[in-house]
Structure 1
Amino acid sequence: MEQAYLETTRNVYKDAAENPNVGLCCTTTPIWQLPGLSIPKRMLEMNYGCGSTVNPRDLVNNPRILYVGVGGGMELLQFAYFSRQLGGVTGVDVVDEMLEASRQNFVEAEKVNPWFRSEFVNLVKGDALHLPIEDNSIDVAAQNCLFNIFKHDDLKKALQEMYRVLKPRGRLVLSDPTCEQEMPEVLREDERLRALCLSGSLPLKEYIKMITDVGFGTVEIRAKRPYRILDPANYATDELIYIESVEVCAIKDPMPADGPCVFTGKTAIYFGKDECFDDEKGHVLLPNQPLAVCDKTAGALAAFGRNDIFISESNYFYDGGGCC
């Protein structure tokens, strides 16, 4: 039997499809400004995400793209901008009204984007826990401010489904709220607050562990931003609860024998007198050349106890390159 909170979520987004709610997620991420891309006003009003899952470096070589939880279709349109092929992008949603709203928005998008055709996007009824997609068939899968709604077992299932449909080396791009404080149980069990992407927020380390536990061998933390405050005057909490949004890319790499590689923005800098420092594990540091390193490599380098290697703290912004 389906859990009641999922039905509440459906109702919230059914209403959001029929009556666009500009402040529903209150994203702080600037909307992509790209040559020849115009986003219809209603699409912008239905931007129910907490960040962005569209990154050009993920979208090379005509990837097959899956987006789960279509919203008003804005990120589907952005993905299609890079794909521009019939059926190159698939959008899956469980809410009929949201699928229909996206269809209507694509008609408007065609009027202001000469390059765009609605047929570039294939809209499919289905849910994140039982994706109507073949195994190992997707290059880039994405979701924005959806998975944080799920409780533990359902979140695990949703991640397993994304892992299942991705090709080897495929990428799962996620944007979700996270919270390092203990969320009061009364808020965590509030079905509407969970549906509104607030009370289901997990600590970042727990969120990452959920991702790596299903098999993703590499995880990149690409951005972390302030998102919301839950305050005692308006919510059942005795203290201010600070929520951040995080953008993550998980790659379906083989799991290393010593555990996943998680990039949180750490950098190693060697400033010694030798030509380089070689840890004999595939990591070569050149003098005064910053190298992005995963947390695992950062720990291993620190364990050498050298006074000529500097390891920066995590800044939760990773932009490619690195040790792995």
Structure 2
Amino acid sequence: MSYLETTKNVYRDAALTPDIGLCCTTNPVWELPGLKIPKIMQEMNYGCGSTVHARDLVNNPKILYVGVGGGMELLQFAYFSRQPGGVTGVDVVDEMLEASQKNFNEAEALNTWFQKDFVDLKKGDALNLPVKDSSIDVAAQNCLFNIFKSEELAQALKEMYRVLKPHGKLVMSDPTCEQEMNEELRNDERLRALCLSGSLSITEYVKALTDAGFGTIEIRARKPYRVLDPHHYPTDTLIFIESIEVAAIKDPMPADGPCIFTGKAAIYYGKEQFFDDGKGHFLSYNQPLAVCDKTAAALAALGRDDIFISESTYYYDGGGCC
């Protein structure tokens, strides 16, 4: 049995018998005006963060969500895209699709604004999405792509890139790990399916996104997730796993490489009212400007003693130099 088949079996079981907290911590249940989320959706919430951000969801966007779970994030997305077929949910597990459809019946009864046809559920594979080219404004996945090995991950990202419109966003939440994992952990099919042993480092994760062609990367959150300890897992050392929330934007790839935002800021504190580097970066006196890592390095290379560059916080909330 392949690790992908193991994954299908894990989530088939989770669809038939909701497993609260399976694989991941519970995503935020947004308290939005008029939005009521059925309890069963919360119990079947198999994600490690959130991919729902209001700033991404303007002007009734077309949204794609891969790996439907119990439908909670699909319902949250539909809140911002109240149109027939505004949200497409894709899953390879029949039982999960059936459970989600049932959950949407309950959501329709609880929410006067919601209609079931706002969400179009489709049987499909992340490696071969049943979606047209350049038809999606916001694509999302929560704690799914970390399960894939390198070849499948590259294909899944290629598919997401294909279906997005120019400047569309791929919003993701996945576990990451900065420590080395041994081969026994990496090759344990169930631990991979449980969103543990497939975790990449942030550098590897971002490289996979830029290799797929995404020209702008925003790391929006980084937080503690799990530990793998020697008493319960095949490891000699304690392994710390974090989760990150990332947006990859289908911008053209700049000639000098991608713009990667990791929460750095530049602050000018010189004698003038502002500093202009002549390359589109304007720093007002003593006002922080969010900068991508590339711009931070260029400003630091100027060797000035009146510009402060902060370290990466791995939290980026929009705005800035690019």
Q: In the aligned structure 2, how far is the partner of 1:185 from the partner of 1:302?
A: 39
Unmatched 5+ residue regions in structure 1?
none
- Counterpart mapping for 1:202-213 below 5 A: 202-213=200-211
2:133 aligns with 135
Describe the shift of the 1:88–1:229 C-alpha distance in structure 2 as closer, same or farther (beyond 3 A): same
Separation in structure 1 between the aligned mates of residue 307 and residue 68 of structure 2, nearest angstrom: 46
Does residue 283 (structure 1) correspond to residue 281 (structure 2)? The answer is yes
Q: RMSD of the TM alignment (CA)?
A: 0.8
Q: Please list every run of 5 or more consecutive structure 2 residues that lacks an aligned counterpart in the other structure.
A: none
Query: What residue number does 1:185 align with?
Result: 183
Structure 2 residue aligned with 1:218: 216
- Offset at residue 30 of structure 1 (A): 2.9
Instruction: Indicate the percent of aligned positions where both proteins have the same amino acid.
Output: 76
Maintained 8 Å contact 1:145/1:175: yes
Q: Which residue of 1 aligns with 2:230?
A: 232
Cα deviation 1:95-127 (Å, max 9, x = unaligned):
000000000000011111111111100000001
Pair 1:67 & 2:65 matched? yes
> Partner residue of 2:145?
147
Asked if structure 2 preserves the Cα contact closer than 8 Å seen for 1:28 and 1:227, the reply is no
- Alignment CA distance shift 1:61-1:292 (3 Å): same
Residue 292 (structure 2) aligns with: 294
Paired letter, 1:293 = V
Counterpart in 1 of 2:270? 272
Distance (whole Å) between structure 2 residues aligned to residue 258 and residue 61 of structure 1: 32
Corresponding residue for 1:18? 16
CA displacement at 1:281 relative to structure 2: 0.9
> 1:68, 1:93 within 8 Å by CA — same for their partners in 2?
yes
CA contact (8 A) 2:26 2:46 kept: no
Deviation at 1:26, TM superposition (A): 3.6
8 Å contact kept, 2:27–2:45: no
Secondary structure of the residue that 1:167 maps to in structure 2? strand
Match of 2:6 in 1: 8
Letter in 2 for 1:264: T
Contact 1:270 1:277 in 2 (8 A): yes
Task: Return 262-271 or 277-286, whichever deviates more.
Answer: 277-286
Q: Residue 105 of structure 1 aligns with which residue?
A: 103
State the alpha-carbon separation in 2 of the partners of residues 275 and 24 from structure 1. Answer: 54
Task: Name the TM-score, length of structure 1 as normaliser.
Answer: 0.98
User: 2: CA distance between counterparts of 1:78 and 1:212?
Assistant: 28
Q: Residue 303 of structure 1 aligns with which residue?
A: 301
Counterpart position of 1:58 = 56
- 1 CA distance for matches of 2:292 and 2:27? 25
Specify the SS of the correspondent of 1:14.
helix
Q: In structure 2, how many angstroms separate the alpha carbons of the residues matched to 1:225 and 1:275?
A: 37
Q: Structure 1 counterpart of 2:189, which letter?
A: E
Please state whether the residue corresponding to 1:171 is helix, strand or coil: strand
